[in-house]
A and B are shown apart, each in its own frame.
Chain A
């Protein structure tokens, strides 16, 4: 199975600051069709996960441009600029390139 390693496990950020979360895969996430099925989610306290970014860098509907995704192959990054209180929670990456689909362990974003 593909292992997704997220770092850091937790992140202390000041309001208005920038956060960067890494998701590294144990193998390339480039599908045979050329697409890369690496997605990012935020789970706010007490809520279900919500999709932020799909296929590495595409923001889902309604997601502000403070969120951006980048990367290729095995290394991927989610950046959150100008952190706001509603950005707090646990961030997960998910790969749907190789069956079985797997999640990263999560990164908890907290206020400094």
Chain B
């Protein structure tokens, strides 16, 4: 069974940095592109970016690429999202998903940006 488990969310101050993780199981992680998607409190869905199966290529939403960095550790079957200089509008639930048709999603981790 495919499982994706995100962690690392919480309350963070504006301007701070935060790193989210997503541990994958039930499939060969190193064979798949992976993605991050977020959902705002108002339920708007926004794609953040993708990373190639070997980590050699990333693709970001233009509005986020200067502050967000996606990486992966295939030995640990783990996907990461490094967020920097966070803003109040980054408050959202962050999901990792297997790229392509987004067939599998984690349960999400909530990030709240507030002073």
Q: Please classify the interface of chain B as helix (H, G, I), strand (E, B), loop, or mixed, using the class held by over half of its residues.
A: loop
Chain B residues with Cβ below 8 Å from A99 are 59
Q: How far is the CA of A21 from the CA of B47 in the complex (A)?
A: 22
The residue from B47, B95, B101, B104 contacting A100, defined by CB atoms under 8 A apart: B47
Where the two chains meet, the residues of A that have a C-beta atom closer than 8 Å to any C-beta of B are 39, 41, 48-51, 54-55, 60, 90, 92, 94, 96, 99-103, 105-106
Please tell me if the beta carbons of A54 and B47 are within 8 angstroms of each other in the complex.
no
CA distance A38 to B47 in the complex (A): 14
- Given contacts A48-B108, A100-B61, whether A60 and B43 have CB atoms under 8 Å apart is no
Contacts of B107 in A (CB 8 A): 48
Report if B102 contacts A (CB, 8 A). Answer: yes
When the two chains form their complex, are residues B43 and A39 in contact, meaning their CB atoms are under 8 A apart?
A: no
From B47, B59, B101, B108, A103 is in contact (CB under 8 Å) with: B47
Question: Which one of A51, A55, A96, A101 has the highest number of Cβ atoms from chain B below 10 Å of its Cβ?
Answer: A101
